Amino acid sequence: MDRVALVACLWFAAWIAGGAELAKLMFSAPLSGSIWGFVLALLTVFLWPWVMPRALEDWMHGSRS
């Protein structure tokens, strides 16, 4: 799997799981939290250059040795 795709899958999985857990704890409705987590993942994917550590950014775009 491509490194960028792997990080993207983990990014979306983390937001979806976090939204589901938060909604389950607060509202007893994990499905709506999963949907909101997916929406937040879509909206925050453009923040990668400012949020991700430099080492992870270098690993994603580094050569395959």
Rounded Cα gap, residues 32 and 39, in angstroms: 11
Per residue in 5-45, pLDDT (tens digit) is 999 999 999 999 999 999 999 999 889 999 999 999 999 99
To the question of pTM greater than 0.85 for the whole model, the response is no
- Cβ neighbours of 50 (radius 10 Å): 6
| Domain range list for the chain | 3-61
Residue 52 above 80 pLDDT? Answer: yes
Q: Which two tokens stand for residue 38?
A: 């997916």
Q: Which two tokens stand for residue 20?
A: 């589901």
pLDDT score of 48: 86
